[in-house]
Structure 1
Amino acid sequence: MKQPHLFDKIDLQLIRTLHTLLTERSVSKTAMRLGQQQPAVSVALKRLRELTGDPILVRSGTGMVPTDVGLKMLGPVTQILQSAESLFSPARPFDPSEARETFRIAASDTLDPLFLPFVMARIKSLAPGCRVEVHALSAQAQYAHDLGQGLIDVVIGNWAQPSEELHRAELFEDEVVCLVSSKHPAVRRGWTPDDWLACEHIAPTPAYPGWRGVIDEHLDRLHLSRHIAARCAHFGLMPRMVASSLLVLTTGRQYCQRFLQGAESHSGLALLPCPVPFPKMVYYQLWHERSHSSAAAKWLREQVKISASQLPHPQNSHLT
């Protein structure tokens, strides 16, 4: 016959009784403290003696004292009860000033170049003890899987139809425009939808097998196809590639406009309206049910949301 496992004979109430016996050193006082009858505590002490093979408490004068084995048990028993209390207590509020979390963010590099620096600066100013890791959404990325496994905490990007299996929140919308060289013929004479489709376009390297991207997904729905003459895995390099060629980069206005102003300004670029109508590009943050109720993850998502709201609004004056 199979012998019962030791853990089958132990429950948390028995551990609590043991701790109280060792600290009160009295069966009667233990019974009063636990709100039990004295015979019930005596039965528990008998069980504990059988399990340990030690008296645990012995008489000394008019009272009782723990045995050497009993004294050695006090520390571990206290830790078990503290761990159980922590395990089943309501989650404590997240205190960013004291936190030591590691936040893992996966993000598309098609985002406004100011956005992730805003997120990073905000997190590090409010939670200086936390680490922040920013991961790329590459061809090898399986963000839904990684969110579910806890490898990343939040994914930020734009999708025509975000995964229904994940929680999501909209961050901002962006108008679709075209970034071209200031010497591109369309800057002088304009263009028609057919002209735009026939141009040499530059597009991102597919993020994963079968990936089309929001621009080409929309064109597919319109039964249109553009001429993609170049692809690049590094979105941040595309504006400079456009500036020195006749390539056309079609993406969000906020991304493009940062390369026409401020530290990233490039005088060889121009913005043009896209002659094919596109819906607004919508950027989301996505997360898994696993972290939906986590206080730390909620705080992270709030910082992402606030950072998005603080992005400078694009100015129409830069559109040719």
Structure 2
Amino acid sequence: MNQALDFDKIELQLVRVLQTLILERSVSKAAMRLGSTQPAISEKLRRLRALTGDQLLVRSGAGMTPTTVALELLAPAERLLREADELFGSRLRRTGFDPATAQVRYRIAASDYLDPLFLPQLVAHLQRLAPGVQLDLHPLTADYDYRAALARGDVDLVIGNWLEPPGELHMGRLLTDEVVCLVSQQHPAARMSARAWTQERYLDCQHLAPMPLSPGQPGVIEQHLLSLGLQRRIAVRGAHFSQLPPMVARSLLVLTTGRLFCRRFVDHLPVTILRCPVAFPPMTYYQLWHDLSHHSAPLRWLREQVREVAKDLVRPG
């Protein structure tokens, strides 16, 4: 029984301290090598002496000398440390991730609010770095419960914009964007001076908006307007965000969203970008993931690639 209790007191760190003390023959040098302090190593030496029933190190002139028992313990201590490295270190090595040879499947739910080129660029980027990866892209719509999907492990990553992302999820901010208005070149606001394009005129227009990402909840633009006690007239709600700019081009509807998204359409559609007369905070885009995948090496790598592609969207040129 006493022997079992003694084993309960043994930590792997004590074995490391024992090996280092025998090799260094000095408490201060062992402390320096282990990144510890001399009092802490002295305390561990006291515990080792109690466990082994031997002094282990004894004074010899200006230094210390290992006892016969200590020298006999050195080989078993080193063998135990090697076996511990094989037992636990091999798992750490297995968590390394080589994208060039990986055969994994990623499942991403994303809105197309961010930029019409974001997902195509992400696909091209992943194909180039990890040709063996399979990528499933899920639309992030109002009827898709992304929080439940993340919690079940049905999806690995969600990309979109929220005023306040859900608190139970891990969050990585990708970028922020200015809120602007996209209108047809034939819209009366396109011919107004900036001073004439007022908040009242903006609210009085007919507006085009995406379906909100959360069922029963207003979208981020509506949330902010409601916080200001304002309301706009939404004439059309669309489930596919990339279809909204062509609708703007053929109508007098106003689309309020990020400049990054709008600027992709001004060169090939008869639309123009206007300053929004309502003061909106910057639109922030995030990637969200669940604690289930937080420590996964392949998914950590994926999140790094998403961040890099998002950075490329806002780099000059």
Q: Give unpaired runs (5+ residues) of structure 2.
A: 1-86
8 Å Cα contact 1:254-1:314 kept in structure 2: no
Q: Distance in 1 between matches of 2:221 and 2:204?
A: 15
Question: How far is 1:138 from its partner?
Answer: 1.5
1:146 alignment counterpart = 149
8 Å Cα contact 2:116-2:264 kept in structure 1: yes
2:210 is the counterpart of 1:241: no
Equivalent of 2:198, from 192, 196, 218?
192
Q: Deviations over 1:43-88 (max 9, x none)?
A: xxxxxxxxxxxxxxxxxxxxxxxxxxxxxxxxxxxxxxxxxx79x8
1:131 alignment counterpart = 134
User: Structure 2 counterpart of 1:115, which letter?
Assistant: F
Question: How far is 1:312 from its partner?
Answer: 4.1
Distance change >3 Å, CA 147–CA 222, structure 1 → 2: same
2:175 is the counterpart of 1:169: no
User: Structure 2 counterpart of 1:152, which letter?
Assistant: V
2:277 is the counterpart of 1:258: no
Question: How far is 1:92 from its partner?
Answer: 2.8
TM-score (norm 2): 0.69
Q: Distance in 2 between matches of 1:248 and 1:227?
A: 10
8 Å Cα contact 1:147-1:153 kept in structure 2: yes
Equivalent of 2:223, from 213, 217, 220?
217
Give the ranges of 4+ consecutive aligned residues of structure 1 lying more than 3 Å apart after TM superposition.
Answer: 312-315
8 Å Cα contact 1:154-1:287 kept in structure 2: yes
Number of aligned residue pairs: 228
Q: Give unpaired runs (5+ residues) of structure 1.
A: 1-84, 316-320
Distance change >3 Å, CA 97–CA 313, structure 1 → 2: closer
TM-score (norm 1): 0.68
Q: Deviations over 1:114-145 (max 9, x none)?
A: 11111111111111011011111112211111
Q: Deviations over 1:132-176 (max 9, x none)?
A: 111111122111111111111110000000011000010000000
2:98 is the counterpart of 1:106: no
8 Å Cα contact 1:201-1:226 kept in structure 2: yes
Q: Distance in 2 between matches of 1:257 and 1:302?
A: 26
User: Structure 2 counterpart of 1:138, which letter?
Assistant: T
